[in-house]
Structure 1
Amino acid sequence: MEISSGKPLTIPDKPTFDKYLNKFPPNISELTFSNLFIWKDYYGYSFLEWENHLIIYSINFFKSWGKSITGKEDSIFFLPPIGPTPEKIILKLFKELDNLEIHRVPEMVMKKLHTEKEFERLNLYIYEDRDNWDYVYEIENMVNLPGNKYRQKRRWLNKFLELYNYDFHVISGDLIKKTLELQLEWCDVTECQGNEDLMEEQKAIET
């Protein structure tokens, strides 16, 4: 695989991403075109199609933002391949490239990796990445906020209901301007200008 043949994400690339994401829905919340696109500059994402899979990666991820598991800043950061057999593509990537790490790999793919003979031959290791687990909650708990575990959240909710009159709207094109204005107001209140992560988040929203 020629890693140099990848290209940065652009809006016209959305149909390509949709083709893979619709056919092979990911288990990871990060793997949506919208999320990848708005953070493309921050993380330096590029992509290419290889052996019927969508490959998303960043050459400079560890040099700028992330922490490499191996401690090598020149390692290439990969998200899990999207396609029919990601476990086989992962093994091929490790055979073809030096200094790479594949992050956010779903448990199902990891289990399949363990069944592949090449996994042991390549001397690969799998690490638990607790800091990047998705938040998964039971719907009933989010609706009812039961017990002591959600006591503080119930207080916040009740305080909000006491203080504010509110309407619920699905965000549409007509509301985008007001939504951006609210984000800018929030940014001023929280003084996000002094926080690099919040400023990058602001740029991502404006994208």
Structure 2
Amino acid sequence: MKITRENAREICMLEFKNLEIEDKEIINQYLKIDQKRNSESSFTNFYMWRKSYYVKYAVFEDNLIVRCGKDGEWWYLPPYGAGDWTKAIEEMMATVAEMGVPFQLKAVGEQDKIKIESLFPEKFDFTAERENFDYIYDAESLRTLAGRKLHAKRNHLNHFLQNENYTYEPLCADNLTAAADYLEKWCAEKACDSAEHTLDEMLVCEREAIHEIFNVYDKLDCEGALIRINGAVQAFTLGEMINNDTVLIHVEKAEHEIRGLYPAINQMFLSHAFPNAVWVNREEDTGDEGLRQAKLSYLPAELWTKYKGVLR
């Protein structure tokens, strides 16, 4: 049946819910089935960004359906779970037809793209979104920084270890406020509260998203850590295992002027909190050229391709 705005209401069976912390178990139940490696495949990711991107979810038969939106644009992620993708995507289409907006999928991986094209031949136009590609690293490479190509990173780390009066601390109830205070200091220096251009708006959203994690840290599956220098917090990070072998780094903030601090928080966190992780997802570069070069300098093993699929 061709889905139109007129018949969409009687076809659509999806009932979307706002995402709450109490939904963690049901969301994880579906995410664990797929064992995906992309940064979107995390309850924490959905939760921390739920206000900025109006994240909602629905369960349809044996699939989890996730919908997001921003600036008048709406999109869906590929279904999660063991259900019938054809039915699930048709339900998504019906919801969008009822809303009267174009139907599009985002964060579509290579295998998902192949599957969707086989189920809906010549129905979608797919475009790779380079700014959203996830950077996937060999975890042991980041823990050791071994090899000639990472020699400069190793030098920076060694300089930090030999010259700074530092302490490394796992994030817990006793130092959570100190990490939150450092975030405010970092944001003040970056002018997060300025609304003069797009980058600052993104920083405002990120600041809010990080506080969302801090507010329910004890209820999430995240691990965190901070580094103090001469007693003052100068870096913190947050991450979690999102499948059997991959850790996702949600957040990493540090004083850029302190030589070796970024390599230090990265290396120490992976070594202490995730010694058995095989892969590290350090998320996308959002099209920022400086961030792109920084991520490339750590020699990713893979760029996890993401496509946008628009219904023709």
Which TM-score band applies after superposition, normalised by the shorter structure?
0.7 to 0.9
Q: Where does residue 65 of structure 2 map in the other structure?
A: 55
* Residues 9 and 47 in structure 1, CA contact (< 8 A), matched pair in contact too: yes
Q: Where does residue 66 of structure 1 map in the other structure?
A: none
The equivalent position to 2:202 in structure 1, one of 185, 191, 197, is 197
Which amino acid in 2 is paired with 1:181? Answer: D
More moved, 94-103 vs 144-153: 144-153
* Separation in 1, partners of 2:158, 2:208: 32
* Separation in 2, partners of 1:24, 1:109: 11
1:56-75 counterparts in 2 under 5 A? 56-58=66-68, 60-63=69-72, 73=73
Q: Where does residue 79 of structure 2 map in the other structure?
A: 81
The equivalent position to 1:29 in structure 2, one of 33, 36, 39, is 39
* Residues 93 and 103 in structure 2, CA contact (< 8 A), matched pair in contact too: no
SS of residue paired to 1:103: strand
Q: Where does residue 111 of structure 2 map in the other structure?
A: 108
- Deviation beyond 6 Å, 4+ runs, structure 1: none
User: How many pairs are equivalent?
Assistant: 191
* Residues 27 and 106 in structure 1, CA contact (< 8 A), matched pair in contact too: no
1:1-207 counterparts in 2 under 5 A? 1-2=12-13, 5-58=15-68, 60-63=69-72, 73=73, 76-85=74-83, 87-89=85-87, 91-93=89-91, 96=94, 97-98=96-97, 99-116=102-119, 119-120=120-121, 123-146=123-146, 149-194=149-194, 195-207=200-212
* Separation in 2, partners of 1:163, 1:95: 58
* CA deviation string 1:94-122 (max 9, x = no partner): 65343211111122222223333xx22x5
Gaps of 5+ in 2: 1-11, 195-199, 213-312
Which amino acid in 2 is paired with 1:92? Answer: E
What do you get for the CA RMSD once the two structures are aligned?
2.5
* CA deviation string 1:116-167 (max 9, x = no partner): 3xx22x5212221211111111234323435665455345424433442223
Task: Indicate the structure with greater strand content.
Answer: 2
* Residues 81 and 89 in structure 1, CA contact (< 8 A), matched pair in contact too: no
More moved, 97-106 vs 22-31: 22-31
Q: Where does residue 283 of structure 2 map in the other structure?
A: none
| TM-score of the pair, normalised by structure 1 | 0.78
Query: Shift of the alpha carbon at 1:87?
Result: 4.1
What is the identity percentage for the equivalent residue pairs of Structure 1 and Structure 2? 27
* CA deviation string 1:16-53 (max 9, x = no partner): 21221233333312221111111111011111111211
Which amino acid in 1 is paired with 2:81? Answer: G
* Residues 48 and 209 in structure 2, CA contact (< 8 A), matched pair in contact too: yes
Gaps of 5+ in 1: 64-72
Which amino acid in 2 is paired with 1:157? Answer: L
Query: Shift of the alpha carbon at 1:12?
Result: 1.6
The 1:108–1:89 alpha-carbon spacing in structure 2 relative to 1, beyond 3 Å, is farther
Task: Indicate the structure with greater helix content.
Answer: 1
Query: Shift of the alpha carbon at 1:62?
Result: 4.5
Which amino acid in 1 is paired with 2:114? Answer: K
Which amino acid in 2 is paired with 1:100? Answer: F
| TM-score of the pair, normalised by structure 2 | 0.54
The 1:138–1:166 alpha-carbon spacing in structure 2 relative to 1, beyond 3 Å, is same
Which amino acid in 2 is paired with 1:84? Answer: A
Higher relative contact order (CA 8 A, sep 6+): 2
The 1:77–1:29 alpha-carbon spacing in structure 2 relative to 1, beyond 3 Å, is same
SS of residue paired to 1:43: coil
